[in-house]
Chain A
Amino acid sequence: MEQGEAGSPPPAEEKVGKEEEDDFGYRLFPERNKNPQSFLVRSLFTYHNKCQLMLRMTLETNPYAQLLLEAMKQSGCTVFNDRHFSCENCDACVGGGFDSATSQIVLCQNNIRHQSHMNRVVTHELIHAFDHCRAHVDWFKNVKHLACSEIRAANLSGDCTLMNEIARFKFGLKGHHQTCVRDRAIRSILAVRKVSRETAEKAVDEVFDACFNDLEPFGRIPHSKTDARRAFRDFQNRDRYNANL
């Protein structure tokens, strides 16, 4: 499981007709509600420093992240590295998550080893953060809202490039991007919510068309950094665009 999406648990609610408490994915991020480790332990015995360096590289140089940061700033949610990002140890199968309760993006320092992976995780979680910033997303009670954000994140972050899919031994060409987006959205929902696979699939299917075609703030599906740079340029020129329609 690449990304999870965490949130603080409200009083236990029925999700699928059972009185089962949903941890909302918190089990994947065991350091979320703990006191932070000491500086020495963190520096010597974890990948914390490497995570911070890679994060900084992403935020300063990656066009996907830069566009999202600018879009969030325009929406009133300026992102500050030390407030809105947290490098932590997580469960083995997770790359990162967005904690809407604390407005933080969690990056799994023990699972992100390469810069390209960091770029993708940061982009993915920034898309969740962007959705949280611009819309009333009910992360905890509305599976369709969660599904929509997961579809958008899988679609726009580069999660589903052909190379990434081949590396996962998933082969396909014609329209395979949509198959990948759908599957990854379902997996993400199942990782962080106690719902059945049928419920997750139904939610994804119901919102797929609307959310796959919601390309904000990119305006296109960015298949490369060139596309992302062009999307950033279009975003910066949007005032001219809207004024002359």
Chain B
Amino acid sequence: MADGGTWRPPRSCEDYWWEWKHCRGLRHAFHHYYAHGELPTCDRWREDYEACRAWEKGRAAAAQEALCKSERARVMENKKYAPVWRLRKSPPPDWYLPLDQDKPN
């Protein structure tokens, strides 16, 4: 986590509001049901928005903590499966090679 003095919410409060509204919409409910077989739960976005607003108003440490915890949990949810492949440290060496040099001899 960044220093308390320079910390700000990971997303703007408008983004949390947008995500919450979008989550509650019919279109998103349909897409979520189509993709995952269940309806979405949107309370977390509302809680994050309220924490963001609380931090904006009074720089409440509890709000900062709650927001960080929620976002870290989101990141961990995305990392719960072991990766299938090994990530590169640099791009493929032949990405920019001219085409005729790529052809095998």
A contacts with B, residue count (CB < 8 A) = 47
- Give chain B's interface secondary structure class: loop
A137: chain B residues at CB < 8 Å are: 85
Complex CA gap A135/B96 in Å reads 17
Smallest Cβ-Cβ distance to A136: which chain B residue: B86
Q: Within 8 Å of chain A (Cβ to Cβ): is B36?
A: yes
Please, which residues of chain B bring their CB within 8 A of the CB of A174?
33-34, 37
A77 to chain B, nearest CB (A): 5
Known contacts A101-B102, A102-B99, A178-B35; is-contact A145 B10 (Cβ 8 Å): no
| Chain B residue contacts of A77, Cβ below 8 A | 91-92, 95
**A-chain residues with CB within 8 Å of residue B84 when the two chains form the complex:** 144-145, 148, 207, 210-211
- Report A-chain residues with C-beta under 8 Å of the C-beta of B71: 241, 245
**CB within 8 Å of B: which of A133-184?**
133-138, 144-145, 148, 162, 173-178
A175-B36, A221-B35 are contacts. A76–B90 as well, Cβ < 8 Å? yes
Which B residue's beta carbon lies closest to that of A135?
Answer: B85
A178 to B78, CA, bound (A): 17
Indicate which residue in B10, B27, B80, B102 contacts A244 across the interface (CB closer than 8 Å): B10
Shortest beta-carbon distance from B81 to chain A in Å? 4
Note all chain A residues with C-beta closer than 8 A to B15. Answer: 234, 237
* Cβ–Cβ < 8 Å partners of B97 in chain A: 103
CA distance A22 to B63 in the complex (A): 58
Structural contact, A133 and B95, CB atoms closer than 8 A: yes
Cβ contact within 8 Å between A75 and B91:
yes
In this assembly, does B26 line the interface, its C-beta being within 8 Å of a C-beta of chain A? no
Q: Given the complex, which residues of A lie within 8 Å of B2, measured CB to CB?
A: 243-244
B87 touches A162 (CB 8 A): no
A195 at the interface (CB under 8 A from B): no
Residue contact A173 to B34, C-beta cutoff 8 Å: yes
Contact of A241 among B11, B33, B81, B88 (CB under 8 A): B11
Contact with B along A186-224 (1 / 0, CB 8 A): 000000000000000000000101110111000001011
Q: Compute how far the CA of A223 lies from the CA of B18 in the bound complex, rounded to whole angstroms.
A: 16
Neighbouring A residues of B81 by C-beta, 8 Å? 209-210, 213-214
What 4 new A-B contacts, CB under 8 Å, besides A101-B104, A175-B33? A104-B99, A135-B83, A210-B83, A210-B84
Which residues in B have their C-beta under 8 angstroms from that of A241?
Answer: 10-11, 71
A71 CB to nearest chain B CB (Å): 12
> With A102-B99, A244-B9 in contact, do A136 and B36 touch (Cβ < 8 Å)?
no
* B-side contacts of A162, CB under 8 Å: 34
Q: Closest residue to A138 on the B side, CB-wise?
A: B85
Is B44 engaged at the interface, CB distance under 8 Å to the other chain?
no
Least CB distance, B68 to chain A, in whole angstroms: 6
* A245 and B35 within 8 A (CB): no
A175 touches B34 (CB 8 A): yes
Complex Cα gap A145–B87 (Å): 12
Asked whether A110 is an interface residue with its Cβ less than 8 Å from the other chain, the reply is: no
Instruction: Judge whether A237 and B86 touch: CB under 8 Å.
Output: no
Which residues on the B side are within 8 Å of A245 (C-beta)?
1, 10, 68, 71-72, 75
